[in-house]
Structure 1
C-alpha cells in the first residue's frame, strides 16, 4: 500500500534526522554545545531545544494531542528566542531528554493517525492541515536545522555527517581536503577579481 509506505518512509527519515541532530552533540564540552557560532547566536543545543518545541506543537496541539509537559519557552512572557539557546541552569541532559520525550509523543501521534488525518495549526492563518503535510513540514525543518548543525559541528572540531560511521563525504585524508579547499578559495578569488573588472 503506497500510503502506508509513504508514512513509514517519512517517519523513518524523521527518526534519522533526529538521531543526526543528537549525534552532533556527542563528545563536545558544555561550552561548545551552547556557544553561539553565528552572528544570530545559532548553537547546537539551542537547535535541539527549538526542534523539541517544534515537534511538541506540530504533532501535539495540531492534532488535539497536546504534549503533556509544560514547555516554558512557549509562554507569552518567555524571553524572545527562549527556544533557541540553553540557559546556564538548563542541563544538556534535560534538553536532550525533553527532545526524546517529545519525539516519543510525536511518534505516537504519527503511529495513531492516517496520513490524511485532519489537524489545525493554531499559529497558522488558515491552519487546516493533514498529518502528511505536518510530517513533510517537520521533516523539512528538522533537516534544515541538521544542515545548520553540520556546519556548526564542522567549525568546532571537523566532525561531519549523519553519524560517526556515515560522513557523506569523499574518503580522503586531511591534506587532500586542505588542497581541495585551497582550490575552491582560488576559484572564488579569481571569479571575484574577474567580476570586479567587468
Structure 2
C-alpha cells in the first residue's frame, strides 16, 4: 500500500515557478489472488476475496488488480474449509460471502474494530447454522485484513497465516491457533518438529465450530 504525497509544480504566472504544492495521494492497493486444489484433494476447499467496500469492486477470476482505498476501506480474506463431501467448500464460501456482505452493509459510522468483530461473528454463526440445518460437520479457517485510513486490521481464526513482506524480509503477523503451535509455545516440541508432526493440521479454533 502506498501513501506517499504527490509533488506537483504549479507554473501559474502570478506565482514563482519554484513554488511546489503538495497534493495528498490516495492510498492504493495492488493485489493478486490464486488458489489451487493441490495434489491430495479432489475439490478445492479454499475461498478468497478482495473487496473494495467503497466502490463495490471484487477481485473475482482476475489474477490481479489495483484500486484506490476509498472511504470505507478494502477487505482481503482467505478461508480454508473443513468437512467431508462438499462441506468444506460450502463452509469457506459461506465465511467469505457473509463476512464481505456484513462489512459492506454496516453503517459507515461503525467503529473499525467493532465492524470487523461483528462481521466475523455473523460469518461464524452462518456456518454454524448451515451445519445444523444440513446435519453436517463443517468449519473453516479465516484470515482477514481490513485496510482503512492507512491502517491494516488483521483477524485470524485457525491456522491460515498472514505475512508482511518489507525490505526483502518476510514476517509472520498471525499466530497459529493449532495443536502443534500450542506444543511449541509450551516448549514440548521444537518448531522444526511441528512442521512434520502427524497432528500439524489439527486446529483449536474454527469458524462454525
TM-score range, shorter chain: under 0.3
- Which one has the bigger helix percentage? 1
Q: State TM-score, norm by structure 2.
A: 0.27
Which structure has more relative contact order (CA 8 Å, sep 6+)? It is 1
- Which one has the bigger strand percentage? 2
Q: State TM-score, norm by structure 1.
A: 0.28
